[in-house]
Structure 1
Amino acid sequence: MSNLAKLEFAALDISGKNYLSWVLDAEIHLDAKGLGNTILADKEASNQDKAKAMIFIRHHLHEGLKVEYLTVKDPLELWKNLKERFDHQKTVILPKARYDRMHLRLQDFKIQQYREKGFKRYSELISCLLVAEQNNELLMKNHGIRHTGSAPFPEVNG
């Protein structure tokens, strides 16, 4: 049976590829609902809060993960199990993302041009560059279909 209720954020994928963003979203939402203590080892939580937290966490899991952790009834235990299974991504993905961010180069776009064009924020520049890249891809596709200087299509006589 599919989940009919709307998710507050994307469910944790069975591969765990979205674990880092999922865990942050889950923590924030649990705290907002007053259920943050249910996933902390050194904190006490009522049975009712634990049940609410389990419903919330399970609601935001891939169906395969729900089945795999079907017998787990405590949110802290489930949280630890998921952390043990997927937390290695912090040591794999996060350093690479930080490295990529540090070594990001904006080819053929000097800082002076950035300021001359009137960009005050980096996000404005990136948005402009993404649009330019999409337009360039479209032009390249069109060029691949019909090369510049090729003969025009024959006209149909009526």
Structure 2
Amino acid sequence: MSNLSKLEFVALDISEKKYLSWVLDVEIHLTAKGLGDSIIEGNKASSRDKAKVMIFLRHHLDESLKVEYLTVKEPLELWIGLKERYDHLKTTVLPKAHYEWMHLQFQDYKIVIEYNSVVFSITSQLKLCGKTIRDEDMLEKTLTTFHASNMILQQQYREKGFQKYSELISCLLVAEQHNDLLMRNHEARPTKSALLSEAHGIEAHDQSEIRQNNRDHDNVRGYGKDKRRYSNRRGGGHNKRENSVGSPNNPSKGKGDHCHHCGLKGHWKNECRAPEHFVRLYQNFFKRKGNKGGAYSSNARVESHLTLKDDAQA
């Protein structure tokens, strides 16, 4: 009795929504307990078994229904009374289930398990109403409602020759899992992403080597520049020749960048082409300047220049 008094499933309420599934649950549980004959007409169940069934049925009825059938003591009488009260549900459930079955399409569902759940829900309602859906019907319903883009895939599944609906669903579930795994791998690392990363790494490495080579080359050139600048600072650089013109140690040119050979500007002593008589005149001028001083040095220099000019015209 302790097992019969436990609530094995949802109790039948007055709204009539769960009657068909409630009937199925009652039949299964009573059969499992060896009391299924008590709700069949013409049964020969003992009074003890009938009492057990009656307690079980009342325990799985809503409180309002218990009140309505308070005086009923036979389980078969209660069973027939509930059937007459809710049997009209078949006339409303069957057309609805039939409509849902007719418009059921595999392409309307994102995942296979969701479609499979709806299929069994509809077929169960049809079966409770006395209409059985065969495996051939479920196979054809599934294969003919594939999306148009999966036509080749649908033909491949049809060529496999499935005889049971469960075999097709198992195959579809496995394929869905494989596709989901492939999509996850693709999203984690898209196509050619590793190759592009490697190419970018090589390019970055090459550019870093180029920059390093340029820095090394610049360092070498910069070292030479610094060395030349250092030499220029110490030895005068490219201006050493010009800066040393006025040096007292330079025997080629004198003060004011004049040639020491002829006294003219614009050339060095070793490049002098002045006539010999002009050179002698210039040299004698310096000798006289050394003896008499520099009072008329400027006039003598002008005179020497004019003499050179006259010789050139002659």
> So what's the TM-score if we normalise by structure 2?
0.35
Structure 1, residues 97-124: CA drift from partner, whole Å, max 9, x if none? Answer: 13212321333861728x59xxx51895
SS of match in other structure, 2:13:
coil
Going from structure 1 to structure 2, the CA distance change for 1:124 and 1:18 (only over 3 Å counts) comes to: farther
Q: What is the RMSD computed on CA atoms of the aligned residues?
A: 3.1
Gaps of 5+ in 2: 110-145, 155-167, 178-314
Structure 1 residues 1-158: aligned runs within 5 Å: 6-105=6-105, 106-107=107-108, 110=147, 112=150, 121=169, 124=173
Matched residues, percent identical?
Answer: 61
- Deviation per CA, 1:9-40, whole angstroms, max 9, x where unpaired? 11111111100000011011111111111100
Distance 2:26 2:51 in 1: 15
Aligned-partner residue type, residue 77 of structure 1: E
Q: Give the residue type in structure 1 aligned to 2:95.
A: P
Unaligned regions of 5+ residues in structure 1, if any? Answer: 129-158
Secondary structure at the counterpart of residue 27 of structure 1: helix
Segments of 4+ moved more than 3 angstroms: 106-109, 122-125
Task: Tell which deviates more after alignment, 87-96 or 47-56.
Answer: 87-96
3-state DSSP of counterpart to 1:101 = helix
For 1:107 and 1:76, how far apart are their aligned partners in 2? Answer: 45
Cα distance, 1:48 vs structure 2: 0.4
- Counterpart CA distance in 2 for 1:42 and 1:102 is 40
3-state DSSP of counterpart to 2:28: helix
Aligned to 1:132: none
Corresponding letter in the other structure for 1:81: G
The structure with the largest alpha-carbon Rg is 2
Query: For 2:11 and 2:87, how far apart are their aligned partners in 1?
Result: 16
Letter in 2 for 1:99: Y
Provide the secondary structure at the position in 2 that maps to 1:17.
coil
Using the TM superposition, give the Cα deviation of residue 43 of structure 1 relative to its aligned residue in structure 2, in angstroms.
1.6
After alignment, is 80-89 or 92-101 more displaced? 92-101
> How far apart, CA to CA, are the structure 2 residues paired with 1:42 and 1:99?
38
Amino acid of the residue matched to residue 20 of structure 2? Answer: L
Residue type of the alignment partner of 2:19: Y
Return closer, same or farther for 1:40/1:124 CA change in 2, 3 Å cut-off.
Answer: same
The amino acid of 1:37's aligned partner reads D
What's the offset of the Cα at 1:94?
2.3
